[in-house]
Amino acid sequence: MSQTLKRKAPGVARVAAQQGKARKARAARARTGSVLDAVMSWLPFSDEQLHRIFLGLIFAVAIAAAWAVALMAGVPSLARDQFGMVATNAGFALRHVEVRGAARLDKLKVYEIAFAQKGQALPLVDIEQLRADLLQLSWVGDARVSRQFPNTVVVDIVERQPRAVLRKPDRLMLIDDHGTELEPVAPERIGSRLIVSGPGAGQQVEALSTLLEAAPALKPQVREAEWVGNRRWNLTFKTGQVLALPEGDKAAPNALIAFARLDGVNRLLGGKVAAFDMRAPDRIYFRVPGRTEDEARAAAAVAAAKVAAAADRASAEASAAAATGANEDKGQGAGSAPRKAGAGSTGGSSGSHSGHREDT
């Protein structure tokens, strides 16, 4: 015999609570939907376009995750090695290097760097690393590396230009505008290049060229320039004479122009002056070799003349004293007559006064 079980109907309070929760959920969904709809309405995309964008993002994330897993498993390196093997077997391997633009640079150094990757599959040759290695060479100012299939790498070199010679304690070095040391140079190979010396002189070559341009007539006559105290120049001309210039971007060119004008009028270069000092404003000092020695010799001659004059005066005084004594003896011998003796006494007194005047 079957029985029917009847559940007790829920209470009114419970039903009301459930209905309240349902109303709150619907209100929250409405608010969220309205905010999202407002944001989406500002985007210049249709629903279909947004769907495609979201789908693309999902695929991108999936691909990135797969790539990360492949990297951890070493798949890309295996694929790269396999590709290189196939390319090498097909004849696309580095076999030749062509160097262009190298006039002073030793090409053997370029070949040594480039052929470090010899036999590598040409598509896998690291041209960026090759270029970086070439830029470490002193003569290379810039370099461009390219592949030329099937088996050649082409290297285009832009060389640095030597502008001066840097005098170092143990050797002479060719340098460019920025002071980059290019290679040692023998004295006989310097030619007409300007020699610079002093701490930091290499970095001042460009500024020195600008300074010398202020006096074009003097520029070819300058043989060497010394950078003094990291602030000013001493110029040595081909005549061996030295010009000390003041410091300052304006004072130095002005002084050089003033010296060029003086040289044009007075022919200072090639003269007796060994050094010109223009460090003081509006003044120029000269140093003439041998002037100090001449002055010393002149002073010695004057002193010798004074000694000789003193000796002559002493001799004259001695002679005068001897003459006075002789006159007195003669006066005493002639005193037999009283009147004559008086006269002789007067004469002796006169002679003594005369002698005193001579002594005076």
Q: Write out pLDDT tens, residues 114-161.
A: 999 888 888 889 999 999 999 999 999 999 999 998 999 999 999 999
* DSSP strand pairing (232-237 vs 242-244): antiparallel
Lookup: tokens for 302: 């004057």
The single-letter code of the amino acid at 184 is P
Report the SS3 class of residue 290: coil
Backbone angles phi, psi at 225, to 5 degrees: -130, 130
Indicate the angle between helix axes 251-266 and 205-212, nearest 10 degrees. Answer: 40
pLDDT value at residue 212: 97
pTM here is 0.59
Report the SS3 class of residue 46: coil
pLDDT value at residue 58: 82
Lookup: tokens for 46: 């249709």
For the chain, which residues score pLDDT lower than 70? 1-47, 50, 66-67, 69-71, 73-84, 86-88, 291-315, 317-318, 320-360
pLDDT value at residue 264: 92
pLDDT value at residue 11: 62
Report the SS3 class of residue 188: helix
> Which distant-in-sequence residues (6+ apart) come within 8 Å of 206 by Cβ?
177, 178
| Alpha-carbon separation of residue 148 from 102, 108, 222 (angstroms) | 19, 20, 49
Rounded Cα distance between 258 and 218, Å, is 11
Rounded Cα distance between 264 and 274, Å, is 17
Rounded Cα distance between 327 and 35, Å, is 150
Q: What is the pLDDT of residues 63-103, one digit of tens each?
A: 777 667 666 766 556 655 665 676 667 778 899 999 999 99
Cis peptide before 338 (omega within 30 of 0): no
pLDDT value at residue 280: 92
Could you list the beta-strand ranges (E) of 32-175: 96-100, 140-148, 152-159, 164-167, 172-175
* DSSP strand pairing (181-184 vs 152-159): unpaired
Question: Alpha carbon 86 to chain centroid distance?
Answer: 52
Q: What is the DSSP letter of 245?
A: P
Instruction: Return the closest-CA partner of residue 335 out of 345, 326, 327, 325.
Output: 345
